[in-house]
């Protein structure tokens, strides 16, 4: 099974621009797709953590990348993740670039993310797509695990910085091409985002200040509607923790 995370991906860009996104157009016409309306706050660190630990924010208590001025690390998050549990049960698993912390977390795979996992320049933002895609494609044959999770994180930064702009559509076109390269690598594929996006002033929560320390104005912020596209996935994701619970029952582990 293959889980592809697209941090911050929203139907509000994909559907109106579907003719520019041939891969999405094709897979949406062929496979289940739906909206995940988050009941928990749409904070990336917290949602990815819930998704792969099965714990609600009040249980995992990992709300953001930074706590008391300190960048949080894997050791600060006191939960077992799906990869820990599957490994204990001798089920092969790899997790690539999972952004519940920065730099994002890798399990059973080595990856050095552009921009220390916080890509900011256009070059870093573009490089992330290529490098993640190449890394995914390189995992073949015996090294291919039973569960492979990989997350593209730069879409989130791109959406904060360029919401409403043509450059964001161009970035979705790049994501579309990447999905085209990896969607057929497995029989069972689940694409999902951790939250959606909207205009900064219309967003129900502001996750970042509008004007950054370098004087840039953020154009977009998080929306609680996330996306899901499921190819032969035997469970439905209504809330982030359903990803963990679905995997636990699919692999029949405790």
Partner 1 sequence: MNHLDELENKSVYIIREAYNQFKKIAVLWSIGKDSTTLIQLCRKSFFGHIPFPVIHIDTGAKFEEMYEFRDKYAKEWKLNLIIAMNKEAMARGVKCGEGDGFTCCNELKTNALKQCMAKHDFKALILGIRRDEHGIRAKERVFSPRDQKFNWDYKNQPPELWNQYRSISDDQTHVRIHPLLHWTEVDVWKYIKRENLPINKLYFAKNGLRYRSLGCKPNTKPIKSDADTVDKIIEEIKKSKSSERAGRSQDKEAAYVMQRLRKLGYM
Q: Which residues bind partner 1 (CB under 8 A)?
A: 65-66, 69-71, 75, 102-103, 115-118, 120, 157, 160, 208-209, 211-214, 216, 218
Q: Which is nearer to partner 1, 160 or 231 (CB)?
A: 160
Residue 73 CA to residue 93 CA, distance in Å, equals: 21
Which residue from 77, 133, 80 is spatially nearest to 102, judged by alpha carbons?
Answer: 77
Tokens of 217: 């104005």
Nearer to partner 1, 117 or 240 (CB): 117
CB of 102 to partner 1, least distance (A): 5
Q: How far is the CB of 112 from partner 1 (least distance, A)?
A: 8
Nearer to partner 1, 118 or 185 (CB): 118
* 219 versus 231: smaller Cβ distance to partner 1: 219
**Number of neighbouring beta carbons within 10 Å of residue 172:** 21
Q: How far is the CB of 32 from partner 1 (least distance, A)?
A: 34
The residue (of 32 and 116) whose beta carbon lies closer to partner 1 is 116
Is residue 155 a contact partner of residue 9, using CB atoms and an 8 Å limit?
Answer: yes
Q: Are 219 and 199 in contact (CB under 8 A)?
A: yes
Question: DSSP readout, 143-208?
Answer: G--SEEEEEE-HHHHHHHHHTTSHHHHHHHHHHHHHHHHHGGG-SSEEEE-S-EEEEGGG-SS-SS
Q: How far is the CB of 143 from partner 1 (least distance, A)?
A: 19
CB of 119 to partner 1, least distance (A): 9
| Closest CB 176 distance from partner 1, rounded Å | 25
Nearest to partner 1 of 212, 249 (CB atom): 212
Nearest to 12 by CA among 206, 223, 238: 223
User: Encoding tokens for residue 107?
Assistant: 């399990």
């Amino acid at each position: 099974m293959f889980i592809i995370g697209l941090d911050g991906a929203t139907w509000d860009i994909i559907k109106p621009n579907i003719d520019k996104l041939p891969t999405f157009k094709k897979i949406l016409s062929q496979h289940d797709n739906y909206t995940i309306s988050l009941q928990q706050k749409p904070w990336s660190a917290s949602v990815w953590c819930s998704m792969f630990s099965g714990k609600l924010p009040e249980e995992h208590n990992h709300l953001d990348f930074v706590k008391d001025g300190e960048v949080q690390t894997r050791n600060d998050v006191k939960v077992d993740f799906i990869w820990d549990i599957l490994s204990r049960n001798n089920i092969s698993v790899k997790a690539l670039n999972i952004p519940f912390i920065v730099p994002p977390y890798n399990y059973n795979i080595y990856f050095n993310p552009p921009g220390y996992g916080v890509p900011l320049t256009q070059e870093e933002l573009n490089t992330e797509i290529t490098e993640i895609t190449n890394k995914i494609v390189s995992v073949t044959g015996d090294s291919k695990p039973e569960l492979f999770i990989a997350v593209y994180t730069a879409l989130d930064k791109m959406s904060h910085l360029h919401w409403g702009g043509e450059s964001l559509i161009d970035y979705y076109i790049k994501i579309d091409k990447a999905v085209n390269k990896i969607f057929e690598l497995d029989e069972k594929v689940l694409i999902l985002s951790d939250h959606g996006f909207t205009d900064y002033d219309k967003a129900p929560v502001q996750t970042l200040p509008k004007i950054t320390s370098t004087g840039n104005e953020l154009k977009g912020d998080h929306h609680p509607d996330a996306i899901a596209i499921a190819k032969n996935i035997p469970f439905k994701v209504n809330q982030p923790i359903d990803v963990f619970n679905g995997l636990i029952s699919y692999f029949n582990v405790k």
